[in-house]
A and B are shown apart, each in its own frame.
Chain A
Amino acid sequence: MHIKEVTCPRCGKISVVDGGLYEIGTIRLRCTHCGFYFEPPDSPRSKTVAQVTNANVPITIWEPEETA
């Protein structure tokens, strides 16, 4: 998978994410360092969840409860 580096808006540290996941843009990424969930601000929003997961049903993204 292509790798994209993203900077956490809370702790300022870098996490590595799948390029496809980053290009969806509407899915919150999880900071590897502090656990903060955030949407990548500069994503091209050029990919769909279906393209990235190769699933053939509509997909809901699940997050643990204490992430808001």
Chain B
Amino acid sequence: MSPATASSLGDWLEKHSTATGLLTVEDPVDPGVYEATAILAQLETPSGGPPVLFANLRNLSGERSPARMLFNTYSKRRSVGLALGVETDTWNDLLEALPQISANLQKPIETADVPVQDTVIQGDDLDLRILPWTRHVEMEGGLYFTPILAAKQPGSDRYNLSWNRVTYLDPIHAGVHISPRQLWSFQREAEQAGDDLPVAMVLGHHPAFNLAAAALTAIQIDEYHVAGALMGEPLQVAPSARFGEDLMVPAGAEMIIEGRLIAAHRVVEGPFGEYMRYLGPQKLSHLFEADAITFRPEPIILEIFAGHRDHLNAHVSIHASLLAAARTAVPQVTRVGWFQGGGPTTAVVALDKSADGQPMRAAMAILSAGNLIKQVIVVDDDIDVFDAQSVMWAISTRVRADEDVIMLKGLQGSLLDPSHPGFGTTAGFVIDATWRVGQTRPPVARVPEAAVSQFPLDAYTLKEA
């Protein structure tokens, strides 16, 4: 097998089909009328759903699409682990493993073996309708994909990867929602100079590639190097069909739409089922013009089941970055909970506190790691940050609101937060639900363990009513 295909999505799926519980649907399915997500909704459980590969999909021209499509790659913790080469069912194991995995940055390697350019469609033949565009949830404003956008910073050789929702507009145009982060700043730089920004929309690669895109990385770090770290081997890259060496693309991807984010233009786009579990509204988003579609034989599009567990869990790299940021500031931090202990704008930090200023310091580190978190609850290490009931117990019994609830004003927020007015500011809070250092803690009400061992249940007859 050639190195460029060593970590393809297809190989990953085949290798882990049993462990992930992969299901394949061979029946014809039209994802544009909610048919794919209707099937996924019926397979969803509180702990997520199995990965599902749709093998026979209708495209926008009403024909069979050349691409198959995979959903729920990240829905179960186990398959998020397998994407990263970590065998675990425990979310916290992944958070602990990710910083080490991401630290092993690998420089991409240029290759002449480019499976993703097996078929190249350009010019008059270019038509985005050959793809199986998808409707995920009720009231979605159009047909969508959730690809990874690879872009090079204007005037540098540094690549950024980001995960973006993309909607079909016409045979060569699409709308892209871009939050004010790194891709946004690249586009703004190009736009100010009057230039379009070349981008490659990667529709499917090894699932660790996508997780690299969602990582909160320092701006000076090339995210192609992070992709290599998470994939466990250097990313294989090759010149794009349209931009040549000016835009190097991942050679082992399944399918790529090459094109440009058009300067000085915006388009109404949305709503879309977001990870906040609401629909993000119709808004002004960026305009993309396609120049080429390239794909490998029988490509598999990696698509997210939007607004569901697959979507939340795909943020694992961001979650891990929050833990790393908190622990860098305050080494006593033991755990950081996010989705499991509140909404995606709220984080819960546990620490083994040794000084009273630590909770606030740890909270500030998390608040500064990105624009996603506005509210932080800090608890002692005996509280399970992944259990909302346990966190509420600490808030109910360890907080004096006049001293322990700190309001924060003038914060930048997340565009997807429905309580927040777009580019204005929002507010946040820190709740310090830890015991004071030196404070005498009340004993927790429980039967002595020794008594439980001394009087085992099976020594008694328990009569049912």
Contact = CB atoms under 8 A, between A and B. Distances in A.
Interface residues of B, number: 36
| Main secondary structure on A side of the interface with B | mixed
Interface in B249-275: 262-268, 270-271
A1 B416 contact: yes
A15 B267 CA distance: 16
Given A55-B188, A61-B266, A29 B421 contact: no
B271 A32 contact: yes
Contact of A30 (B263, B264, B282, B422): B282
Contact of B266 (A16, A55, A56): A55
B53 interface: no
A65 B170 contact: yes
A15 B281 CA distance: 9
A55 B191 CA distance: 9
A20 interface: yes
A62 B280 contact: no
A32 B141 contact: yes
A59 to B, nearest CB: 5
Contacts of A64: 169-170, 173
A15 B418 CA distance: 15
A21 B271 CA distance: 13
Interface residues of A, number: 32
Given A1-B422, A16-B139, A27 B283 contact: no
A30 to B, nearest CB: 5
Contacts of A61: 265-268, 284
B416 A52 contact: no
A27 B268 CA distance: 9
Contacts of A28: 268
Nearest to B180: A54
Given A55-B188, A59-B266, A1 B284 contact: no
A62 B141 CA distance: 16
Interface string A10-41: 00000111111100000111101000000000
A17 B141 CA distance: 10
Nearest to B262: A62
Contacts of B263: 57
Contacts of A15: 139, 141, 271, 282
Interface in B413-452: 415-423
Nearest to A31: B141
Contact of B282 (A17, A56, A57): A17
Given A58-B264, A60-B265, A61-B266, A20 B421 contact: yes
A1 B283 contact: yes
Contacts of B378: none
Identify which of B139, B141, B188, B279 gathers the most chain A CB atoms within 10 Å of its CB: B141
Nearest to B280: A1
B453 interface: no
Nearest to B289: A62
A62 B283 contact: no
Given A17-B268, A17-B282, A59-B266, 11 more contacts: A2-B420, A3-B418, A32-B139, A49-B284, A51-B423, A60-B266, A61-B265, A61-B267, A61-B268, A62-B262, A62-B266
